[in-house]
Chain A
Amino acid sequence: MEYKPTSGHGIQGHFYLPRSGGHAPFALDVQLDIPGRGVTGIFGPSGCGKTTLLRCIAGLQPCENGSLAVNGETWQSSGNKRNSLPVHRRPLGFVFQQPSLFPHLSAGENLEFARKRARQKVSDDEYREITELMGITRLLSQQPEALSGGEQQRVAIARALLIKPRLLLMDEPLASLDQMRKREILPYLEKLHRSLEIPILYVSHSVEEVARLADHLLLMDEGKIVNEGPATALLSRADFPVQLGDDLGVLLEAQIAQQDSQWSLLSASFDGGSLWLRDTGEQVGDSIRVRVLARDISLTREEDMQSSILNRLPVQVEEICPDRDPAMMLIRLKPQSASAAASDANVSRLIARITRRSVHQLSLEIGTTLWAQIKSVAIVR
C-alpha cells in the first residue's frame, strides 16, 4: 500500500514553533505532505514534538508561522492570522490521550453533544453504525466514571466520529490504558481504519501500535521529521533513524498459503520466502502483516536440522551496522529462497540483532551466506 499525495489531495503544510521557555527543549520545525487517505502514524520518542504537531494541526496550539491545507481546503495560511480557522471551525475529530468525556454528561449525552454540532446531519442509521463499530451501544446510559478507561476511550472515539470530521487526529489514544485494555481497543481501531474514508493521523511512541495500524509513517525526533514513507518499508530499515533497541524489527506483508491442520500451523508466503505461524484462524489467501523482531533472529553457518526452531531461511549478509549498545550489531539480511519472480529490490529484508562477539566468531562480512533462525513471528494484522 503506497499513497502518493497529489496536489489538492492529502495534507500539506508547515509549522514553525520556536522553543518557548523551559517547556520545549527544541523548536518544532516540520514540512508536511501526508496522504489524504489511510492511517499516517506519527512516531518518535517521548518529547519529540509529535503531540505538539498534532495540536498545531488541530489549532489547539496557536502557531503563527504555519500553514495547513487538508484535501484542498485551507485551514491556515502563513503570516495571516485572519486566515487561521479557530479550532471549532476546523472539520476535524480529535481523540485525546486521556479519556476526556464530559463528566457532567452520560456516555450517550456525550455523543449527543457531538451529534448536535456535527458538520452535517447524522442520520439514525449512521449513529447506530458508529456506536456498533465501537461496541458501545450498551454503555450509552452510563456515566463516564462508571466506565473503564478502554470503554471511555471508545465512547470518545465514537464522539469524535459523530462530528463527521474530514480528518481524524488521535493523540496516543492507548497510552493511558493498561496492556489488557490496549488489546481490547486495538481491534476497534483496525475496524475504524478499514471503514473510514477520511485520513487519520495517529500519534504514538509504540512500535507495536504503528506496526499494526499505520500505512504511512512520519518519524520525528527533536521537533523535526527525520524520515517518512510507507510503514512496511520504513520499519524494515536497519538504519532506522529513531533508536528502537529491543523493539527493532521488520514488518512483512504476507499471504496465507496453506493450512496444516495436523500441527495447527499456517504457512505464510512473503516476497522473500515463507514462514510457519501458529494457526490463529486466518483463511488461506488472507493478507496479513507480520512482524519479525531483530532480537528473535539468530544466525548459523550450517542449517541446523536438529533445532526446535521451525523457521529457517537461507540468507545473505547485506549490511552490518553498529547498534546503540556497544555489545550488539545489526545485520541486514537478504533472503535467498526468494521466488524468481521477485526482483532484487522488492525482496523484503530481515534484520538480526546479535552480539559483536558472534559477528567476530562467525567472521561475518557483506556477502556471507547463512541460515537465519527465526524464533517467533507475530501476526500484527
Chain B
Amino acid sequence: MLSEADIGAIWLTFRLATTVTILLLILGTPLALWLAKTRSIIKGPVSALVALPLVLPPTVLGFYLLVFMGPSGPMGKFTEALGLGTLPFTFWGLVFASLLYSLPFVVQPIQNAIEAQGERHAEVAATLRASPWDTFWHVTLPLAKPGILTAAVLGFAHTVGEFGVVLMIGGNIPGETRVVSVQIYDHVEALEYTQAHWLSAAMIGFSFAVLLLLYLLQHRKSSRGLRYGI
C-alpha cells in the first residue's frame, strides 16, 4: 500500500499546510480587517496584489520567488546576511511561497465576513464603552468566526493541493520538500501506477471531506447572511 516515502510525504504535507494556515491566520486577519475598513486609495492595488495568485500560473509565481529568494535576489541576500543560507529547496522556502500562494484564500473570506458585519456592531460596542481593541476581540472577531473557519479550511486545503510552485522552488528533496503532489508525480514518472493510485485516491477523499465540511459550516451559518463561494 503506502510506502515509507509516501507516509513521509503525507507527514511533510501536513506539517507544511498546518504551519502555513497558522501563519496565514495570524498575518491575514489584520490585513483582512484593514481591507474591510479602509477608505485608503491603496485599497484597490493591495486587493489586486492579494488576489494575484488566484490568476497567475504557479510557475510564474514560483519563478519569481526562486529569483527573489535565490543567492542574488534581495531576500536571498538578506537571509544569507542573517546566516540562514538561501530559502529555495528548503522547508521554510516552501512555507514562504505557500504563504503568498494561499493568501487570497484566507484573506478574502475573513474580509467578506467583516464587511458583511457593517459598521453597526462596532458602533454599538463603542456606545457601550468598548475601546477599538476591545471591540476587535469581543465583537468583530467572534462575529467573523464562520469566515475565519472557512479561511482556515481553504488555506489548509489549498496548500495541500499546490504543485507547480513546489516544483519550481522546492524541487524534490525527501523529508524536506517532497510533498504528496510531487510524490504522485514521481510515482507516475516511474510508472508506479498502483502507488500513484493510492495517494491520489487519498487526496480525492481528503479534498471531498474538506469541501463537505466547508459547505456544512456555511449552511449552518448562512442564516447570518454570510456565504463564500469558491
Binding site for B on A (CB under 8 A): 58, 60, 86-89, 92-94, 96, 98, 100, 102-104, 113-114, 117-119, 145, 159-160, 163
Contact = CB atoms under 8 A, between A and B. Distances in A.
Contacts of B139: 102
Nearest to B123: A60
A100 B143 contact: no
Given A102-B139, A103-B224, A88 B130 contact: yes
Contacts of B130: 88, 113, 117
Contacts, number: 57
B122 to A, nearest CB: 10
B143 A94 contact: no
A163 B128 contact: yes
B143 A86 contact: no
Interface of B is mostly: helix
B126 A87 contact: yes
A291 B140 CA distance: 46
8 contacts: A88-B126, A96-B124, A103-B224, A113-B130, A113-B138, A163-B127, A163-B128, A163-B129
Given A88-B131, A113-B138, A102 B124 contact: yes
Contacts of A89: 129
Contacts of B224: 103
B121 interface: yes
A89 B134 CA distance: 13
Contact of A93 (B121, B123, B127, B143): B127
B161 interface: no
Nearest to A93: B127
Contacts of A92: 127
A97 to B, nearest CB: 10
B120 interface: yes
Which of B127, B139, B142, B223 has the most A CB atoms < 10 Å from its CB?
A: B127
Interface residues of B, number: 20
Interface string B105-126: 0000000000000001101111
Contacts of A102: 121, 124-125, 139, 143
Interface of B: 120-121, 123-132, 134, 138-139, 142-143, 145, 223-224
B142 A104 contact: yes
Contacts of A118: 129
Given A87-B127, A163-B128, 6 more contacts: A87-B123, A88-B126, A88-B128, A102-B125, A102-B139, A163-B127
B181 to A, nearest CB: 38
A92 to B, nearest CB: 7
A161 to B, nearest CB: 11
A151 B224 CA distance: 20
A100 B121 contact: yes
The list of the 6 closest CB pairs from A to B, nearest first, reads: A94-B127, A87-B126, A117-B129, A88-B126, A104-B142, A100-B124
Nearest to B131: A88
Contacts of B142: 104
Contacts of B138: 113
Contacts of A103: 143, 224
Contacts of B129: 88-89, 114, 117-119, 163
Contacts of B134: 88, 117
Nearest to B127: A94
B118 to A, nearest CB: 10
A368 to B, nearest CB: 54
Contacts of A93: 127
Contacts of A119: 129
Contacts of A113: 128, 130, 138
A100 B128 contact: no
A100 B132 CA distance: 18
A89 B145 CA distance: 28
B130 to A, nearest CB: 6
